[in-house]
Amino acid sequence: MKDNTTKYVAYLRVSTQKQGYSGLGLEAQKEIIQSHLHNAAPIAEYIEVESGRKTDKERPQLRSALEHCRKEGATLIVAKLDRLARNVSFLSSLLENDVEIVFCDFPQANKMVLHILAAISQYEAELIATRTKQALAAKKARGTKLGNPEHLLNKHSEAVANSNRTNREKARINPNNKRAVAFLKVLVSQEYTYNQMAETLNREGFVTSQGFQFTPSTVYKLIKRYNLR
């Protein structure tokens, strides 16, 4: 149960003007926050239409939300970690300020774990951007006409391969996987076996990207995917 005496200020962020105006992603964030607070309403709500890579000085709504928290002695509540920041240094500075911050997708996380998750999130974002640029450059070098959907429609096998890559990428950035990876780094350093790792993750309440318990094989896949060993 949430402490009814605690006051919360909600911060919601969407990445584009289109999302801001249409509510795409915004309503989902509101629902996550309301569910976390057991349908209690925050005392204030601040909505930012910005890129996740912008700095604090470029986030007027975030600065206003933090100032509101200071005046009211409230806690800043955010639906998901990546709605606040993907940049490690930016998140670190926020975690060191005088305002308490709660992330609905990982409320039990301490500052150390949040730093690890932010680092993974930043790495994934940079990796995806690099791969996209490399893929486009390779296609252009082969003479592929970029932006023409006929290439995909005429090649069923390529479409299937693209779908598989997308699914693998979703698994890589899934928040459940990220939480488990942050904990697995410690277990790997202590030379736990795959069986011991799976048992420890399950005992501590971690779940897979599909919400299931871990097995030695799923632990092995995560370790291989994130190059932990």
pLDDT in tens, 64-87: 999 999 999 999 999 887 766 656
How many structural domains compose the chain? 1
Indicate whether 19 belongs to any domain: yes
Q: What pLDDT, on the 0 to 100 scale, is given for residue 64?
A: 93
| Contact yes or no for 100/66 (Cβ under 8 A) | no
Q: What pLDDT, on the 0 to 100 scale, is given for residue 72?
A: 95
Q: What pLDDT, on the 0 to 100 scale, is given for residue 15?
A: 73
163: tokens are: 């779908």
Beta bridge partners of 12: 47
Indicate whether 99 belongs to any domain: yes
Q: Is the pLDDT of residue 186 over 60?
A: yes
> Judging by DSSP bridges, how do beta strands 44-49 and 75-78 pair with one another?
unpaired
> What separation, in Å, do the N-terminal and C-terminal C-alpha atoms of the chain show?
39
- In single-letter form, the type of residue at position 163 comes to S
Q: Is the pLDDT of residue 111 over 90?
A: no
Q: Indicate the pLDDT class of residue 160, thresholds 50, 70 and 90.
A: low
Q: Indicate the pLDDT class of residue 173, thresholds 50, 70 and 90.
A: low
Beta strands in 24-157 (DSSP E): 44-49, 75-78, 101-103
CATH number of 75's domain? 3.40.50.1390
Those residues with Cβ within 8 angstroms of residue 204's Cβ, 6 or more apart along the chain or in another chain = 183
Alpha carbon of 134 to those of 43, 158, 218: distances in Å? 46, 17, 30
CA dihedral sign, ordered 205, 206, 211, 217: negative
Phi, psi of 43 (to 5 degrees): -75, -20
Indicate whether 175 belongs to any domain: no
Indicate whether 218 belongs to any domain: no
Give the three-state DSSP class for 44. strand
**80 CB-contact burial (10 Å; exposed 0-12 / middle 13-18 / buried 19+):** middle
Q: Indicate the pLDDT class of residue 153, thresholds 50, 70 and 90.
A: very low
Indicate whether 86 belongs to any domain: yes
Indicate whether 35 belongs to any domain: yes
Indicate whether 220 belongs to any domain: no
Per-chain mean pLDDT for the chain:
76
Host domain of residue 54: 8-111
Q: Per residue in 7-48, pLDDT tens? A: 999 999 887 655 554 555 788 899 999 999 998 899 999 998
Q: What is the mean pLDDT of residues 151-167?
A: 55
Q: Which of 70, 88, 79, 72 is nearest to 47 (CA)?
A: 79
Q: What pLDDT, on the 0 to 100 scale, is given for residue 152?
A: 46
Q: What pLDDT, on the 0 to 100 scale, is given for residue 16?
A: 65
Q: Is the pLDDT of residue 3 over 70?
A: no
Q: What pLDDT, on the 0 to 100 scale, is given for residue 106?
A: 79
Indicate whether 74 belongs to any domain: yes
